[in-house]
A and B are shown apart, each in its own frame.
Chain A
């Protein structure tokens, strides 16, 4: 079955450590996205990529970095510069283009806790 796999489901890190969240898709989608959810807030866009080797900042990119070396993979690194990293992170993909009028397909998310 095609889909998006995020790993791990739960992640715990000490403050000051960088951590990388994995997102892999086998849907052959061009565009991939990272969203963050906090309690009482809507999903907020961190980064997105429309094509391999290219990505753009979303609304809350500070303290995060991404890479898109392969079509299937879009890992997100939460750096020590991110002031409030504890959150639920969702990865999504779509085709064609930027998900403007094609639906997003989501992974199951990673809950990151930083203490």
Chain B
């Protein structure tokens, strides 16, 4: 059974803090790793789709790195703002996979 783990489950930071969380996935037969942001009362929104080992993607203050050999990805948020409060989901798909496998998410709360 393929498993995708995200840590921490939740965290609370102050406005301006930088933070990061982890997504762990099977390191064999990797195909792609997705990151989504899910704000309350909204639909999940795609942040990044990563396919290459060592890849780093950036969108504003949010960036992500990928290590397919050891099976992890980090999501970084620089200078957190209250509008960054959301649940961040990662999802893995392997070479033989036909659909994404989601982690349980990391819920970020940013206070002003």
Question: Which residues on A are within 8 Å of B, measured CB to CB?
Answer: 4, 33, 35, 40-45, 48, 56, 58, 90, 98-109
Contact = CB atoms under 8 A, between A and B. Distances in A.
22 contacts: A33-B99, A35-B102, A40-B104, A42-B103, A42-B104, A43-B89, A44-B102, A45-B99, A90-B43, A90-B44, A98-B98, A99-B93, A101-B32, A101-B49, A102-B49, A103-B36, A103-B46, A104-B46, A104-B100, A106-B43, A108-B43, A109-B43
B46 A105 contact: yes
A17 B82 CA distance: 42
Interface of B: 4, 31-32, 34, 36, 42-46, 49, 51, 89, 91, 93, 97-105
Contacts of B51: 101
Q: Which 4 A-B pairs have the closest CB atoms?
A: A103-B46, A42-B102, A106-B43, A43-B102
Nearest to A44: B102
A99 B42 contact: no
B29 to A, nearest CB: 12
